[in-house]
Each structure stands twice: as C-alpha cells, then as structure tokens.
Structure 1
Amino acid sequence: YGERWTSLWLDLARFADTRGYEADRARNIWKYRDWLINSFNADKPYNDFLIEQLAGDLMPDPDDAKYIATAFHRNTMTNDEGGSDNEEFRTAAVMDRVNTTWTAMMGTTFNCVQCHSHPYDPFKSDEYYKFLAFFNNSRDEDTQSEYPVLRQYDTADSLKFTQLIAWLRNNVSDAAAKKYQVFLKTWQPTINSLQCDKFVNGALISSWYAGLRNKGTCRLKDVVLENKTQLMFRYKSNYDGGKWFIYLDSLNGQLVKTIPLANTKGEWKIVITAFPKVKGKHNLYFKYYNPAIKTANETGVQFEWFQFDQDFPGKGKAGYQIAFKDFNDLMHAQVDATPIMFENNKEQFRATHVFERGNWTVKGKAVQADVPDIMNPLPPNVPRNRLGMALWLTDKKNPLVARTMVNRLWEQLFGFGLAETLEDLGSQGIPPTHKELLDHLSWKFMNEYNWSIKRLLKEIVSSATYRQDSKVNEELIKKDPFNKFYARGSRVRLSAEQLRDQGLEVSKLLSKKMYGKSVMPFQPAGIWRSPYNGDVWTMSENEDQFRRALYTYLKRTAPYPSMMTFDGGAREVCIPRRIRTNTPLQALTSLNDSTSHVIARNLAFRMQKTGGKEASKQIQKGYEIMMYKPISPVRQKALVDLYNTALNKFKKDKKAMNEIIGLKSIEKGSNPETAAMVIVAGAMLNMDEWLNKN
C-alpha cells in the first residue's frame, strides 16, 4: 500500500536520484522515499503529512524523520556546471518550491503570477513574492555538497553523539545541548565559501569553493563578529607552509588573524581556532601566501565553509577534553547525508523583493511573507515562516487542500478526476462533473475522517459507483464516451510502475524487499551520456533486478526508458498528473524489452509447472493465474494456434529456440515446447485485459 501511493507522490515531489541540468550528478535522497512509504503505511494524517514536508525542521525539537520529510523541497534541481550563477539557480529552486506547493497541494496555477497578475484567477503579482518570502530564507545555495544535509551517524558514532549531547546538557545547559545537537546533525549555521567575491589571483572553483593561489585574495561580505571568539572552517590543500591572513574591511585594514594551513593531501579537513573579539558586522578580506607554490596558476587552498561562533562550552568541567575530542571526531565522521530544508538565522536573513516582470536580476519593492488576500488569512499567532505557512495551508478554512487531494485520489481510481484538470482547479480548469460530491468528500476527509487517506480510499472503493463492472454498450458510448457520469465501471490503463510490478509478480520474480537505495535493473547500453559525468549504469544483482519499479534509479537527463514509454516523467518539475497515451512504442516495449521477455519466460515456466502436460491446459492455467477468471474459447483457440505455429518453427530452428529460452547452447530444459510457451506468455502479457484495469 505505502509503495503504491508513494509512487504517486514521487511525481508531485519531483523525486529523482540526480540533480538535473547539464552534468546531472547523483543525489543521495532515497531516505525521503522511505519516509513516504512509512507515512502512507502508517496512515499519517494528511495535514501532518504536508506540514512535516513543508516545515518539519521548524517544528519543536524535530527528530530525524521530520528533517528527512523536508527533503520534499530539496528535490529541486541544482546546477553543477562550472561558471553558473549560484544565486540564479538558488532563486530558480525557491520559485520551483512555490510553484510545486501550489500545484501539488492546492491544484492552482500560481506560477502564472511570477511575471504579472493572474489573467483569470484573483492573484496579484506581488502576492507571488510575498508567498515566495516563506521559502527565501532556506540555507541551501546551490552547493556541490547540497548543504544543508541531515548527517546520520553509524552505531559507534551515534553512541558518541548521544553521550556528548548528554554531557552538554548536564554540564552546560539545555540550550547548548540543543545547539550542538542541531549543528552536529546539519553543520548549520555556517557560511558557504561561494559567498566570497572580489577575487584577485583566485576564483570560485566550479562555482562552489573559494580557491586562492599564492598571494591570492578575496572578500567575504557582511560577517557578524559580535561575541564571536572562535572560527571553524573546512578546507583542503596540497601544499605545506601555507598561511591565511584575515583583514577587517580592506586588505589595508586591521590584520585580525593569521592561520597556518597544513597540507591535507587533497582531503577536506575541519579546523577550529581562536578568533579575536571584534564588534559589529564587517567585510572580511582573505589573503593566502605560500612560498612552496612555484607556478602562478596553481590553486594553493580551497575553502568550503566558515563558522564564526563562541568557544566550545564547558571548559573547566570534568570530561571537557573528552567531550571536545568527541565533538571533533563527530565533525569528521563519515556519515550518510540527506539534503534537507533549514532556515537562515537572523544574521543571514534575506530580504525578499518583487522581481520586475519576473526578472530575478531586477529587484523591485521589498515584501514581507504573506498569503494572497483572496484566501483565508494566516491563523493568529503563527510565525511568518514556512511553519506558519504550512499551518495556514492545512487550516480547515483553506478550501483547496482537501479538494485537491480528494480529486487526485479519485483520478487514480477512476482514470479522471471529478475535475479533470488536477493541476488547475481555477477558472480556466475543467469544472467538476459532480461538484457536490467533491464538496462532500472533501468535508468528510477533513472533519469526519480526520485527514485519513485510508478511510477516504475505503469510502470510495466500497461505493456502488466504483464496484460496477465496466461492460459497455452502444447507448452508453453514445451518451457518455468517457464515462464522466459513471454509469459503468472505469477502464484505466495501468501505470508504468504497475505494469512492471504485476508482470514480475505473476512470473514469481518480484522482490518484496522494501526501502533503501535505488536499484538499476536491466537497461540497454549507451543511454547514459551526460557531459562531465562519469557515472555508469551498473546492473543490480540477484533480487535487486526485480524490485518494485518505484525503486528504479531515475536520472533526470536519461530516465528509465520503459517508464518513459508508458508515460512516466523525468521529474524535472512537479508532475500533477500523467496524461495516458497509446503509442506503437508501448507495444514494442511490452513485446521486446528484455525485462518483458524475462517476465514472459518465467511465466511460461510457471504455466508448464502448474498446468499439467497438455499445452492447452497450461494456457488455461496461465490465463487464470493472470486474470483470476477462466479463459474464453475464442481466446484459448487463438493462443493454442499461436503455440502450434511457434512450436513448428522452433522444431526446425534450434538457435532461435535457445535464444527465446535464454540459453547459448542446447542444455537441459531447452526444448521447442518451452520456447513456444514463452511466445504465448509474451502475447498474454500484451492482452488488453492485462494492460488495463477493467
């Protein structure tokens, strides 16, 4: 159940295993998919389900699960191309979060408003940017490491982490324990080195890291130094003897710190050093000097991030040295990291401006976070951040959230929503065919079912409307060709995932293994050809080849071919609904794709094993296994005729027989009867009643 409905939500969340754009490098975000599966299986109330995804990090004392939930809005694409403007693509990600929130959760084309007021629905252009302000203060900045991330420790480090937080709580304060708990798990707040500018004899390396050559300089703007006595930074260098000089406000200003930089042999290292007391906010100017560098164009040091803070607390208390060592060890620990949302602190707050005509480089008036005037107002006493916005969104006074989800679930079950345009419930969308029913189910979803998706689904599928058979006559086709008035059961082509999964299940190949990293089943060679990306498709082994389709690795610039053929998407943006198509490519895939052939082969083996010695009985049994009903005489005759034709061919062509069975030479089990049954099984897997829900 959880996997089936997670498959739907991954389209809305634009979930993928890569970052998109040119290089399209890998992204480690599979734990978000696990969170979805668990949430659907546990029937997490839909309002909580949305709040945690939008603002789990802002909830009181969030656990790992709430942080991982916020990966919903870290599925945005990031641009790894060298020379790209990080602020441009950070802004693009923020706008994508706004658009996805309205499309996925409220079925509204709010993205129309980013350039001008909505031509049809009552939204004004500046309201778009007021809403964008809710998202504009997240910490992500298009970095290579995709900060901020949730760092999850293995067993030994997890024990060390627990002991350190307990020591801080017992010897310093609850506030200190909470601060370091968050910092060790997220490395936030820090200042990413991509904020450096004014480079001389240096540059941003691949748009991510501040790199300085010998005697190179750069600037870090607007650093709050009030009450800061410690500098922590992450860097790497391949040279001995380097020195880093930090000046206040200009290269001719006060030299506040000189830091020796050891050779890290190309590995990232975190250093903690004392920093002199300085009042106020300043621009810091950096200079690097290293006489060991002999070539003018050689980068001597790269910085990733900086943190200006107070000293590690508890000095003088029993166990301080052990605690401080544990802190250092945990900072350097190898961890599993998942991109999450995390809010800026007051020192890093971003002002939000209207973009003139939607152009992010032309800033207009400043705006504060707010919701459109036409909608219900923000609830009283909620913060004006993502958490306040999430509480507004799921307030029962908001008419759109429940209607959008009810309409979406209806579409999954009947093939069309009550309002067909799932992505647009506004004035230009197709009006609901049964508005009162949509109102009724939406009210019950919120009030009577307390946002329970399982109860809503049970209500719909146990109704007389859903339980009709789908037989049709000429009169019904003439009156209602698309069954919008539900005089018969719906007939719906299965999704790409469902077609693969039920084929694997009926052939007894399907792995029931749940959770974990994405897998790579068979894929033809030559599909992955992204520039600057050396990743290759490495086929998974054993049962991982046959896991449910939702676990298949999805690369945005080269999605899994058979999924795309059956209307899956690249998930570069939110996909509110899949438009079902019927094309010759689908038949070519289901008849000739290697996975389809493996399924047909194993189904044939099952038919022979369970159907007795006669081919006609084997075909009868196979049909009953697949369709849960007896085969009709007409179908049986057609399939028996196909079997006999194939049998005669394979008796004369041993090479073709072996190819069909998957053997390079004649071996035990290789016989024309089995090869012919594989052909029949393949045909049965392409029958209309197998491909469609009737």
Structure 2
Amino acid sequence: MSSAFAVSALVFAGFPQGTIDFARDVKPVLDRHCVECHGPQKSKADLRLDLRERAFAGAEGGSEPVIVPGRAAASSLYTRLVTEDKSERMPHKAPPLEPAQIEAIRRWIDEGAKWPDEVAGVDERRNHWAYQRPVRSAVPKVEHPERVRNPIDAFLEARFERDGVTPAPEASPATLVRRLHLDLTGIPPTPEEVAAFENDKRADAYEQLVRKLLASPRYGERMARPWLDLARYADTQGYEKDARRSMAPYRDWVIAALNENLPYNAFSLEQLAGDLFPGATRSQRIATAFHRNTMLNEEGGTDAEEFRSAAILDRVNTTATIWMGSTLACAQCHDHKYDPFSQRDYYKLFAAFNQTADGGKTPEPVLRAPTAEQERELEGIAKRIEELERKLTAADEALDQEQREWELQPRLKPFDELDWIPWVPTEVYFDPPGLEATIAPDGTVTLNGVIPDRVNLTVCRDMLDYDEFMLGKPLVRLEVLPFESGDRRGPGLASHGNFVLSKARVRFWDGNPSGYYDLIQRVVDVDHEQPGGAFRASHALDEDDSTGWAIGGAVERPHRIIFEVTPEIFREARLLLRFQSTYPKHILGRFRVSTSSDPRGLGRGVTCSPWKSAGPFVAASFEEARDTAFEPERELAEGKPFAESYRDGTLAWRELELKVGQQKIPLQGERCATYLRRTITTQRARQLELYVGGDDAVKLWLNGELVHESQDYTTYTNTPTRVQVRLREGANELLAKVTNGNGGYGFAFDVGYLTDDRITPEIEALLKLAPEERGVEEARQLRDWYRRGPSVLGSAIADELTKLRKRRDEIEAMLPTVMVMEAVKEPRQSHVFVRGSFLTPGEPVEAGIPGIFGAMASSEVPTLARFELARWLVSRDNPLAARVHVNRMWELFFGRGIVATGQDFGLRGDAPSHPELLDWLSVRFADSGWDMKALVETIVTSAAYRRSSDVPRAEYERDRHNIELARGARMRLEAELLRDNALAISGLLVESLGGQSVFPPQPAGTWNSAYS
C-alpha cells in the first residue's frame, strides 16, 4: 500500500481538480489499454471491462473483486496498476499507464465508482456521444473575461478556472506573425512583413493580418495539402508499374475551391457526386477525381473486377474516415466489433459507389481539363473560326464572279475519265507456283488454286503497238476488283478480302540482252488507302517488303492506284507485283491493268527536287541540339540564301541519291541535328498533304514558316504524321531539321495525293450542269467547295482556317486530362461479400447509410444513390460531418484534435477533451453555411491560438500533450513545408499556381534499366 500512496501523491499534484467523470476520464483509458484482453473478443480471467455489470461482478467468476466503490486500495483494477511485481502489473506485457491515468482511476473508485447508464455497455454503442446530433451549448460565464477573445476561450477558461490553471501570456508579435504565415500560407514572413506587423499599432492589426492571409492564393495551397493526403492524391497509378497519370487538374480544383471559400457541404458534394448534378459543369466533373485517386493496376494478366472492387472498397473506407470519422473498414468482412456498424451497413455504402463506369485496369473515363489560358485561347480560336466560316458562306459578288470565270476555263479531266487502254496479259507467272490465272477479254485477271502465304506475281504483255507510250509521261492504272461470286468479299485472297501489295514494278525489254529496266517513277493517284497511314500507296514503291499498299476498311468496293512511268519503246512489258507481307495470304486475287497517255491527264500534281542535306551539327546534348538554331535555321529566319557550306567547309550541302519510292532517309551522328531541304514546284497555288516523321525530333518549315514540329520517334520507325500545307504558285522551299539523342536516326517524308486538284465525282457532276440548271442546294454545295479549294480570294480565308484548326488541334493534344467519376448506363446489382471477398458475393444489398442513422433519401434511379449519400453526409442528419471537420482543423492549428483519434470517433477512439467546445464549434460551423474560412478565422483569432509556447518546464510536465491548451502549440513543420520554407528563404520558390506536377531531378542512368 505504501507504494500505491506514493504514486498517488505524485500524480495528485499535477492532476486537475474537480470530480472525475467516468465517460471523460476513465472509460477512454479502459477502452485503450484494457478492453483488448478484457472485452468482447477476449475476456481473460472471465473479466469484461466494457460492460458495467460484468466489471462490477469481478474476475474469476466473481472470486476476485475488481471494483469496490469507495475503496480503491481494495480494488484490483487499481492495485494491479501500481504493484511493483511486474508479473502482476497491468497492462500485462505492455508499458505501464501514465501516472495521471492511474490517478484518474483511483479517484474515480474512491469517489464511488459511478458508471452512468448511458455508457453501461448494453445500448452504449447506439448512445455513444459521437452518434448523437451535436447541440450548441451556452458559452460559459467566466471570472476572467479579459483572457477571452472569442467563445473558444470562454470554454477553455471555464476549465482553467475549475482546475486552478493560469494560461500562458500572448506570444510576441514576431512569433505571431510567423505562426500565422506558416499555418495559413505555409511560407514564412519576410523580414519586412515581420517589421510591418510589429510596427502596426492598430487595435485590429492582428485580425487584419489574418484576413489578408486568408485572401492570399497561398492559403489554398497550404490548406489543400492535408486534404490531398486524405484524398490519396498521387501522380502515379501505384501497384507494379506505378505509371504516371494526370491528376493535377483535380489538385488545382481543390486549391481554387479553398481559395474561393466554397462551402464545405458544396466542397464535399461536388467531390463525391459532382457528375450527377443536372447539367454538371466541367469544374464539378473535375471535382469527382477525388474518388479516382484510387490505385490502378495495369499489369498484364490481372483481374479487372478484382481491382475495380478494391477501388470501391477504398472509396467506402475513405468516405467513412473523412465524413464520419469512423473505422468502417472493420466491417468489410464481418460486423464491426466495437461500433454499431453491421457488415450489411458497409455494403450499403459500397452499393452507392458501385454504380460508376470506371474499371479496374484502365483510366477511363477521363476528362480534358484545359487551363484558364488554354481555355481563353480555344474560345478565341472558336470565335475566329465562326467569323471566317460566316465570311466564306456569306453572299460575296467578287467570289461569285471569280467562280464563274473559273468554271469557263478548261480543266484537267478526272483520272477515271481519261482514255484508258486495257492491258490484256499474254501470260501470268507465279513464284512459287500453285495459283492459276483466268484472263477475261477486258483484261481482268482472276486467281484461283492453292493460296500460298506469300507470292511474286508477274503479268506479261507483248507491246506490238506502243504508240500510246510515245506521248508525254504515260500512266499505268492497277484496278483491284472485288470477287463477283462465291464467299469472297473483296479483291484479296485473305479471308477478310484485303491484301498487302509489298512492291509494284513496271519493267520493259527492248530486245537488248542486258535485260529488263524499271519504268515506274512515282504514284500519282490512289482512291483509297487503309486508315492509319501504315499501308500507304507509296509503300508499294519502296524496298521494304514489310510495308505495302492495302485497302482495309473498304474492301467491298473497287479501288485503283495510278503510276507514272518513263516513256520508252519496247517489245515486251511486265508488271511485277510482290506480296511478301508478314500477314499470310494477303495476296491480290482479282485485278485489271490499263494504260493511258491522254494529254488531258498530264501536267497535274507537283514536282519535287532531290533532297540536299547538311550536317550533322553536334551539340553537348539532345536538348541543346534540338533547341539551338544552327546556321541553316538562322539563314532561314533572316531571309538569307543558304550558304554552300558551313564550319570552314566541313559541313556542306550535298545531294542525296535515293531510290524510287524511298521515304526513309537514314542519318548519322549522336547529340546532333541534320538539315534537309528541297524545292516543291506547282503550276498554281494549292493545298497538299505531306507525311513527315523523324527520330528523335523533327521540325519542318515551308517558305520560312514552321508548319510542323514533333518529338515522337515512332513517326520515323512506324507511321509518319500527316501534315496539310498550302503551296504558292511556282517554287516552294522546304527545310527540315532532324535532331537525334543517341543511336540511329533518320527522316521520313512523302507527298500525299489528296490535293485540291482532285474533283470528286459529285462536284464533277455539278460542274456539268449549267448554272441555271442547278438547284439551290446544288449551287450552295458547289460554291462552298470552290471557295475552300480553287478560289484565289477564298484560299486566304481557307488558309487561315487551316492554321486556326491546326492550332486548335495542337492545344487540344496538349490539354491535361483527369480521371473522373461517371455513372454506369446499366445499374449493377450489389452484394454483401462473404468474408469480404469479391469472389463470393452473398445476399443482394441496396444503397443506403448505416442503420443507426436511419435512412437517406431514396432514389428510383440506382445511379443517383451516390448523390443522395453525398447529400446525407453533409446534412445535419449526419452527426459526424461537422465534428470531424472541426476536429481536423483544430488538429491542424494545435497539433492535436479535441478528439485525439481524429479518424476514429467510435467507441475505441478517444473521448473529446472539450466536448462542449467541439459541439459548439460544429453547430456554429453548420449554421454559418459551412463556411471554412470563417471556421479558420475563429480558431486563429482566439487567445488560445495566440498564446506563447515558452513556459516553465513544470507547465510542460503538468500537461505534457497540451490537452488543456494553457500554452501555445509547438509542432514540427511538415516535410512539404520544410522544402517550401527552404526555397522561399533562398529566393528559389516558384510562385505560379497550378499546372502539371514537377518531375524531380533523377540521378543519371535511372531510366536505363529494362524495367523502369
């Protein structure tokens, strides 16, 4: 007994005066340190300390008195805490209780061990204080009103006066200005700001500083940090690959919402269900990224449903933590062991979040989220496009007169209306043999027989009459014709009717023993190419058998490709068609060949001079080579002619020798740039499509104007980028810059066939009608086509439209995206997961809230349940939302919440240190319209916040954790604040708000591993 009294005397000196309250002072100690072994899960020594009747009944079947009211020395609940016998001392195999906790239990027993009915344990879970609606208590009257600045201080002062405590004085002005700056903006004040506050003699100088900092843009950044932690914000997906993702627009939304003081109920509702608002705005949809911050597993072979379910479970747990301060995750597999939440309650919330369209393996749905600057530019472009479109379609006599004059001019005939001479083969050879050819009188060749994976096909014709090849540049047309009967659906022998023409050659023999010579110069026209750019007509002329011309997407219709060939006199001609694609049996099975030298088809298109190149211009790095304007680029910018050579003649322009159809130009060098130039000549101004690619980066200028820029190496290795340009009449100068980092590199270039020379059959039909024969719609269609194509006056408008649309596309390609929530089209049925596993769905369950709180508003549309849940969470029917947020703010400014276990307001959590104050603030917060800045202002303008933390050591020992708040809080800076403070003090802090997250500098070689 002597040791027990010694401990009591020691503790009593520092313990607050007044009657001990079981619910406030004793029960939290029992719940935290005793119930684990003496509770519902374990009841060692047959003792339960969570139920009043069982506790007073004693241990070991009642043979050992545990609580003897009025006699702590006879109660083992107390004596086992203070015994010096370690084998007997409780908690067993755990650190001893704090002296103040032991003293609270001793005094409670000696004062009669009063255990109120409301926490007796039978209905305790339902009667728990946190599950009762908060009531706004009356502000206490105090004896020292001079120590009270606002109602917060009155509640604290009442306790000080009860316990005989004198609070610390106010901190110095320098300390206060620093404390406010760090707490409200995260950035320390400058010496000038400290001096200004110290010299400000206004009575409300402090309050003015608070309002100034609350209005600072830095406030939103500071307050967003803890919220983003709650929201699980991350710039990567997590799991095995941890790939990068774009969630910065959501972060920017949070910062903006906090700066704009969006009410907490709206702040919450938009994040939980912003997409379900009628006519939801982009901002409201971005807000729903809150629950897309869950991890995403993109690893191959994973079960998408497993990770979709895992994401929803995470959303339930996060929602319960933030808006209910509850450990609801404990009810995923079974009923909660301590709090009044059943497993069914858990899956009622799960059902509300189960109606979203996101999956477990892909980011969709995603939303484009332009910055304010991008949005302004896009709006300006849209407005200008609308103006120009109106101008193009408006009545304009000058444009109409220009069109009438143009219609009277002789025009080139469409290719298909030229005079074509069928090329009826005299023989068809196959390598390897096996196929058989049937030749129709009109020259149509149909193949049958055993279909090989790959074949070379040679079509021969004796040229006894070669007059048609004596005029100009003759044309050879290859028509590919769908099969007319049987199961085949296209011209190819593959099951889907497609083919890949790897190589086409027209060869002639003039009787000379030296052999055959190639005639084809280029492809001049094609009416269809397989979408995507990987199977273009010009690929039939290159030396790469893995490429070729294909017609996927339109195999049911006839198509044709037209080659320009060199005019020659010869005895025999051969058309060689190679089908060597990596795709087996992609062989042309039905086709026809014809030739033409019709002068009405000549002189069209453009001509290109040979390429010239200069380089490589070497730099220290890829970035330097890419960004440096070397000599040719500077000459172009200054409008000077290109010099013949550079660097004392070591880098000279040299003409490249390329094969017919060669599109890829390999280049040499590392960390360097090479320039290429050529002239494109046209008889009149026209639009033209180019196909451009470069590894690693490419820039393209036409007539001194930058028309294309890319840093995608696949445009060289795989598919070039399609670029539309406008040529002026005559010569057009083209300059390309290709930059390489390391390894091999090169440049890819080709001229397309879609120019405004081509007149569609529909327009050709309208041109054959006299103006008076055209209807209103026909006249409008022809006028619209002319003004956007051949018109000289309209071309300026069309050019500007092209540039505007190109710029619009460039901006849209750069727009940041964000993963958002979106309701499913077809509602899902939700189930209780047996033992928490998605693989074992149990009984069906509908969306709702935990039964202890009643029921939320119902919706006939299951997908709207998430909206109704969100509304309930921030309504007064939820007794926790306001309390939890107030407690979170209190913890931010004082280092410890009024409820120390801020994420657990349940029975195992700590009781509030100042329950009346917590409820007063919570009700006031809701009454204020959930005004977040007003709550912060109330807290930081209190005397409690302004107190000095510099107090005698005895004061620290008396209240080690500063629960009473008789002194100012002392807290360590968060990691982010430490970094920001260092940057701010050194003058290196970037003040701009928003945008994509900064990728930190990485050590050299980090990304060189095969799996990074």
TM-score, with structure 2 as normaliser? 0.37
Aligned to 1:495: 974
Matched, 1:458 2:747: no
Alpha carbons 2:296, 2:363 under 8 Å: kept: no
Instruction: Give the letter for the 1:418 counterpart.
Output: I
Provide the C-alpha distance between the structure 1 equivalents of 2:990 and 2:309, rounded to a whole number of angstroms.
Answer: 41
Distance 1:357 1:484, change over 3 A: same
- Cα deviation, 1:461-520, whole Å, max 9, x if unaligned, reads 111111110012232122211111111111111111111112222222222111111113
Deviation at 1:450? Answer: 1.4
Tell me the SS of whatever aligns to 1:385.
helix
1:368 to 843, 846, 857: 846
Instruction: Give the letter for the 2:962 counterpart.
Output: N
Matched, 1:264 2:548: no
Aligned to 2:335: 117
Instruction: Give the letter for the 1:342 counterpart.
Output: E
Aligned to 1:351: 829
2:237 to 19, 28, 33: 19
Matched, 1:83 2:301: yes
Provide the C-alpha distance between the structure 2 equivalents of 1:5 and 1:527, rounded to a whole number of angstroms.
Answer: 34
Aligned to 1:134: 352
- Cα deviation, 1:609-658, whole Å, max 9, x if unaligned, reads xxxxxxxxxxxxxxxxxxxxxxxxxxxxxxxxxxxxxxxxxxxxxxxxxx
Deviation at 1:408? Answer: 0.6
Aligned to 1:35: 253
- Cα deviation, 1:117-168, whole Å, max 9, x if unaligned, reads 0000001101111111111111111344432434658667667889999xxx
Distance 1:150 1:486, change over 3 A: same
1:247-258 alignment, distance < 5 Å: none
Instruction: Give the letter for the 1:349 counterpart.
Output: P
Deviation at 1:367? Answer: 1.2
Distance 1:59 1:162, change over 3 A: farther
Distance 1:481 1:340, change over 3 A: same
Distance 1:374 1:93, change over 3 A: same
1:93 to 308, 311, 315: 311
Aligned to 1:573: none
Distance 1:264 1:404, change over 3 A: same
Alpha carbons 2:286, 2:367 under 8 Å: kept: no
Provide the C-alpha distance between the structure 1 equivalents of 2:985 and 2:991, rounded to a whole number of angstroms.
Answer: 13
Alpha carbons 2:365, 2:822 under 8 Å: kept: no
Aligned to 2:583: 294
Provide the C-alpha distance between the structure 2 equivalents of 1:453 and 1:370, rounded to a whole number of angstroms.
Answer: 28
Alpha carbons 2:249, 2:817 under 8 Å: kept: no
Gaps of 5+ in 2: 1-218, 387-491, 499-527, 536-551, 555-578, 586-776, 785-801
Aligned to 2:160: none
Provide the C-alpha distance between the structure 1 equivalents of 2:493 and 2:220, rounded to a whole number of angstroms.
Answer: 54
- Cα deviation, 1:65-108, whole Å, max 9, x if unaligned, reads 10100010111110011111111111111111111111122211
Deviation at 1:293? Answer: 5.5
Alpha carbons 1:240, 1:292 under 8 Å: kept: no
Aligned to 1:637: none
1:207-286 alignment, distance < 5 Å: 243=496, 262-265=530-533
Gaps of 5+ in 1: 166-238, 246-259, 274-289, 297-315, 534-694
Distance 1:93 1:295, change over 3 A: farther
How many residues of Structure 1 are paired with residues of Structure 2 in the alignment?
404
Provide the C-alpha distance between the structure 2 equivalents of 1:138 and 1:240, rounded to a whole number of angstroms.
Answer: 45
Aligned to 1:420: 900
Matched, 1:391 2:871: yes
Alpha carbons 2:249, 2:818 under 8 Å: kept: yes
Tell me the SS of whatever aligns to 1:374.
helix
Deviation at 1:401? Answer: 0.8
Deviation at 1:60? Answer: 1.4
Aligned to 1:201: none
Alpha carbons 2:858, 2:868 under 8 Å: kept: no
Provide the C-alpha distance between the structure 2 equivalents of 1:319 and 1:480, rounded to a whole number of angstroms.
Answer: 87
Distance 1:380 1:366, change over 3 A: closer
2:983 to 504, 523, 527: 504
Instruction: Give the letter for the 1:54 counterpart.
Output: L
Distance 1:81 1:3, change over 3 A: same
Distance 1:474 1:151, change over 3 A: closer
Aligned to 1:62: 280
Provide the C-alpha distance between the structure 1 equivalents of 2:853 and 2:246, rounded to a whole number of angstroms.
Answer: 37
Provide the C-alpha distance between the structure 2 equivalents of 1:486 and 1:373, rounded to a whole number of angstroms.
Answer: 37
Instruction: Give the letter for the 2:868 counterpart.
Output: G
Alpha carbons 1:241, 1:291 under 8 Å: kept: no
Aligned to 1:178: none
Provide the C-alpha distance between the structure 2 equivalents of 1:58 and 1:266, rounded to a whole number of angstroms.
Answer: 42
Provide the C-alpha distance between the structure 1 equivalents of 2:295 and 2:892, rounded to a whole number of angstroms.
Answer: 27
TM-score, with structure 1 as normaliser? 0.53
Matched, 1:73 2:291: yes
Matched, 1:520 2:999: yes
Provide the C-alpha distance between the structure 1 equivalents of 2:380 and 2:369, rounded to a whole number of angstroms.
Answer: 14
Distance 1:356 1:240, change over 3 A: farther
Provide the C-alpha distance between the structure 2 equivalents of 1:39 and 1:155, rounded to a whole number of angstroms.
Answer: 20
Distance 1:29 1:463, change over 3 A: same
Alpha carbons 1:149, 1:337 under 8 Å: kept: yes
Provide the C-alpha distance between the structure 2 equivalents of 1:41 and 1:125, rounded to a whole number of angstroms.
Answer: 39
Provide the C-alpha distance between the structure 2 equivalents of 1:272 and 1:420, rounded to a whole number of angstroms.
Answer: 65
Aligned to 2:660: none
Provide the C-alpha distance between the structure 1 equivalents of 2:849 and 2:497, rounded to a whole number of angstroms.
Answer: 47
Deviation at 1:527? Answer: 6.8
Alpha carbons 2:247, 2:818 under 8 Å: kept: yes
Alpha carbons 2:236, 2:243 under 8 Å: kept: yes
Distance 1:244 1:392, change over 3 A: farther
2:884 to 392, 401, 404: 404
Provide the C-alpha distance between the structure 2 equivalents of 1:272 and 1:137, rounded to a whole number of angstroms.
Answer: 36
Instruction: Give the letter for the 1:294 counterpart.
Output: Y
Instruction: Give the letter for the 2:239 counterpart.
Output: Y
Distance 1:419 1:272, change over 3 A: farther
Provide the C-alpha distance between the structure 2 equivalents of 1:143 and 1:261, rounded to a whole number of angstroms.
Answer: 34
- Cα deviation, 1:515-567, whole Å, max 9, x if unaligned, reads 1111134455577799744xxxxxxxxxxxxxxxxxxxxxxxxxxxxxxxxxx
Matched, 1:475 2:954: yes
Tell me the SS of whatever aligns to 2:842.
strand
Distance 1:145 1:54, change over 3 A: closer
Tell me the SS of whatever aligns to 2:353.
coil
Provide the C-alpha distance between the structure 1 equivalents of 2:322 and 2:315, rounded to a whole number of angstroms.
Answer: 10
Provide the C-alpha distance between the structure 1 equivalents of 2:827 and 2:384, rounded to a whole number of angstroms.
Answer: 33
Aligned to 1:341: 821
Tell me the SS of whatever aligns to 1:493.
coil
2:364 to 143, 146, 165: 146
